[in-house]
C-alpha cells in the first residue's frame, strides 16, 4: 500500500510538472497583450468589432488569448480595450497600433512604396478601403476596389505563390487576407516594368516562367 501511495504521488508530480512546462512554453509563444489558455482546450477570443472582422479570425480556436484588459482587433492583434473604444463609432474602422502610412483607396492604384513608419489610430479594417472622394470614410472593397494594372484584379485574399515571370516561389504557400493585393488573371504572370507591377502573358516574359 505504501508503494502504491508513492507511485500515485510520483504520477501527480509528473503531471504537474508537465502542465507547468506546457504553460511556460505556451507563454513564451504568446504575442504582446496575450496570455496562454489554461488547460489543454483551445478557446475563441474577444474582439473589438467582431461584426467587421473576418469569420476566420473570430471563430479561430487559439492557444493564446488576449489578457483581460485587452481585446483583439480586426487584424488579429491584441490591443488595449481603452484603445478599441476610440474607434467604436468609426464606421468600418478599427484601432491599429501599426497601420501602413499609405492606406488603400477606392479607385486609386495600390501604393508601390510605403514609408516604414507606423500610423497609430483608427484604420479601415481588412476588406475596407478609403472612399474615393474625401479619403476619410471606410467603404467595402468589394463595392469599390482599388485600381489594379491591366489583366489583374483586386483580391482580399491572395496566395504567396502567385505565378511570376521569374518563376520563383516560396518554400511554403500561404493565403494572406489582411491587406489584399492585385492578382494577375489566369494565364498572366506578374513582373515589374520600370519599377511598376504588371501582368503579362507568358510569351512576353523575359524568361520561361513556371
How do residues 167-200 score in pLDDT, each as one tens digit?
777 778 888 877 788 999 999 999 987 778 899 9
pLDDT at 115 over 80: no
Domains of the chain, by residue range, sit at 32-140, 152-204
CB crowding 48-70: b at 16 or more within 10 Å, else e: bbbebbbeebbeeebbbbbeeeb
Predicted local distance difference test score (pLDDT) of residue 95: 98
**Is 50 exceeded by the pLDDT of residue 19?**
no
**For 92-115, what is the mean pLDDT?**
87
This prediction has a pTM of 0.74
Beta strand pairing call for 119-124 and 93-99: antiparallel
* Residue matched to cell numbers 504537474: 16
- pLDDT, residue 152, reads 95
Which of 11-15, 101-105, 129-133, 166-170: highest mean pLDDT? 129-133
- Which of the two residues, 62 and 170, has the higher pLDDT score? 62
User: Residue 208's pLDDT band (boundaries 50, 70, 90)?
Assistant: very low
With bands split at pLDDT 50, 70 and 90, how would you rate the model's confidence at 85?
very high
Contact criterion met (CB below 8 Å) for 48 and 94: yes
Which of 75-84, 90-99, 111-120, 130-139 is predicted least confidently? 111-120
In sequence order, the β-bridge partners of residue 65 are 35
Contact residues for 180 (Cβ-Cβ < 8 A; gap 6+): 104, 126, 127, 141, 154, 155, 156, 157, 158
State mean pLDDT over 63-76.
97
When the pLDDT of each residue in the chain is averaged and rounded to a whole number, the result is 84
Q: What percent of the chain has pLDDT over 70?
A: 83
Is pLDDT of 73 > 70?
yes
Query: Considering only CA atoms, which of 106, 198, 110, 108 is closest in space to residue 151?
Result: 198
> Domain 32-140 is classified in which CATH homologous superfamily?
Laminin (2.10.25.10)
Q: Report the C-alpha gap between 189 and 151 in whole angstroms.
A: 9
Amino acid at each position: 500500500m505504501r508503494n502504491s501511495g508513492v507511485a500515485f504521488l510520483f504520477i501527480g508530480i509528473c503531471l504537474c510538472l508537465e502542465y507547468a512546462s506546457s504553460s511556460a512554453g505556451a507563454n513564451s509563444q504568446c504575442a504582446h497583450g496575450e496570455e496562454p489558455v489554461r488547460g489543454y482546450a483551445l478557446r475563441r477570443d474577444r474582439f473589438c468589432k467582431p461584426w467587421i472582422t473576418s469569420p476566420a479570425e473570430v471563430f479561430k480556436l487559439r492557444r493564446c488569448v488576449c489578457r483581460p484588459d485587452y481585446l483583439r482587433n480586426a487584424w488579429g492583434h491584441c490591443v488595449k480595450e481603452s484603445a478599441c473604444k476610440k474607434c467604436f463609432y468609426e464606421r468600418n474602422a478599427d484601432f491599429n497600433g501599426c497601420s501602413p502610412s499609405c492606406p488603400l483607396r477606392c479607385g486609386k492604384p495600390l501604393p508601390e512604396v510605403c514609408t516604414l513608419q507606423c500610423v497609430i489610430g483608427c484604420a479601415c479594417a481588412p476588406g475596407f478601403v478609403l472612399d474615393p472622394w474625401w479619403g476619410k470614410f471606410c467603404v467595402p472593397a468589394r463595392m469599390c476596389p482599388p485600381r489594379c494594372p491591366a489583366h489583374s484584379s483586386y483580391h482580399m485574399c491572395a496566395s504567396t505563390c502567385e505565378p511570376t515571370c521569374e518563376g520563383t516561389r516560396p518554400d511554403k504557400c500561404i493565403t494572406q487576407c489582411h491587406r489584399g493585393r492585385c492578382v494577375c488573371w489566369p494565364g498572366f504572370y506578374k513582373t515589374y516594368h520600370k519599377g511598376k507591377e504588371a501582368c503579362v502573358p507568358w510569351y512576353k516574359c523575359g524568361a520561361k516562367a513556371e
